[in-house]
Amino acid sequence: MPGHNSPTKLSAAFAFSSLGNCSNRPSLEPPLPGGRLNSRDLTIIDNVIQILPDFLVSFDNFVGLFDLKKRFTISLGAKIDPSEAFHVNRPWIERTPPPVLHDHDFYECFWIVTGSCSHFINGAVERVETGGLMFVRPPDRHAFQNTEEAPCRMVNVAFSQETAAHLLDRYAGELTGRYFWTNGRMPAAFRLNAAKLRELSALEHILDRGNRSLARIECFLLALMTDLLTDVADIAPAEAPDWMTRACDAISDPQALRCGVPALIRFSGRSHEHVSRTFRRLLGQTPSAYVNTVRIDHAARQLATSNTPISEIALDCGIDDLSHFYRLFRQVHGISPMRYRRKVHVDLVHPQDAAL
């Protein structure tokens, strides 16, 4: 081949030979007399030249997933008719690396029915297995890729922000700080066992067998959030280790909640430093912030469903400083505990008064 007898290209040939046999030594076959390359060198160079463009494209796509400028917004209006209140999709996850992330102008929940995939979400990459369920908020930026040999399929249910706002306003005591309404960097995620996955599939079939009305999507979401998931521990992303799942489940008990972070660390069976690193990586918050989130969630339920004095509710959550409790509650709900209780009770007893 003309031009291949120069020292620079000859050195390159030796370098590619080294890569080809996974060794730091040059090829055992020296160049032929006159500087000509042997057939082995040519084969390796040809292979590298052939795969290099695809590799560079894949690498650029992967890097692009973490470039916040490379994203687009999916609109619910482009997926449904004006008379419809929701959209159901059952895509197979592609093996091609996604070129960009996307966010939405709607809420969606998805779950994996077969296989597993990589989920690029808010600057992280997590593994979602069969039974993985996630509640995605409009600002969440994400994309999927199947990197396994087995096919991967998901079910996706999308609905409007207006529907989400109505549900939260109506059922604040049960939904605040959970499911679609979390404040952490990562969306709320669950792992369903085979029995729960079958229950969810049954709900999906009921949802999709009639017209796509507002009543039907609200019925589906309430059944999912207030019935099917009542005994399933909400966790960090689906890749959360078992010790983290157990600790998060255990700390939701009021008695454990009163002990706070020390109880969480004890339940985890790991060092405080290890727990802190894992919570920051998967939840985007410290163990202390996580415990406070659970405490305020518990307090909101008590405010909505009982007449227990606010000071007792704060103590029951493990917060003995009432001003600190008020401050934490206001950070989450935007109003004081007293106003929250009045608002929820008005909504439950006299819904029409809430608009006055």
Q: Which among 144, 45, 133, 160 has a CA at the least distance from the CA of 99?
A: 144
pLDDT tens, 73-108? 998 888 888 899 999 999 999 998 888 899 999 999
Residue 350 pLDDT > 50, yes or no?
no
Task: Read off the pTM.
Answer: 0.53
| DSSP sequence for 9-31 | HHHHHHHHHHHHTTSSSPPSSPP
Whole-angstrom distance, CA of residue 106 vs CA of residue 217: 14
What is the C-alpha separation between 60 and 49, in angstroms, rounded?
17
> What token pair was written down for 271?
């060092």
Backbone φ and ψ of 237, nearest 5°: -50, 160
| Whole-Å CA distances, 220 to 158, 206, 215 | 12, 8, 9
Under the banding of pLDDT at 50, 70 and 90, the label for residue 49 is low
Topology of 71-228 in CATH?
A: Jelly Rolls (2.60.120)
Q: How many residues are recorded in the chain?
A: 356
Q: Domain locations in the chain? A: 7-64, 71-228, 242-355
- pLDDT tens for 51-73 read 655 555 454 544 444 454 556 79
Q: Give the per-residue pLDDT at 125.
A: 84
Q: What does each C-alpha distance from 23 to 18, 31, 212, 268 come to in angstroms?
A: 5, 18, 61, 43
Please tell me the predicted confidence (pLDDT) of residue 242: 75
The Cα-based distances of 177 to 184, 234, 339 in angstroms read 10, 12, 17
Instruction: Say if residues 203 and 224 touch (Cβ distance below 8 Å).
Output: yes
- Which residues, 6 or more positions from 148, have their beta carbon under 8 angstroms from its beta carbon? 115, 116, 117
Burial label, 280 (beta-carbon count in 10 A; 0-12, 13-18, 19+): middle
Q: Per the structure block, which two tokens stand in for 270?
A: 């790991």
* pLDDT tens figures, 216-231: 999 999 999 988 887 6
CATH number of this structure's domain 242-355, picked from the four choices 1.10.10.60, 1.10.260.40, 2.60.40.420, 3.40.109.10:
1.10.10.60
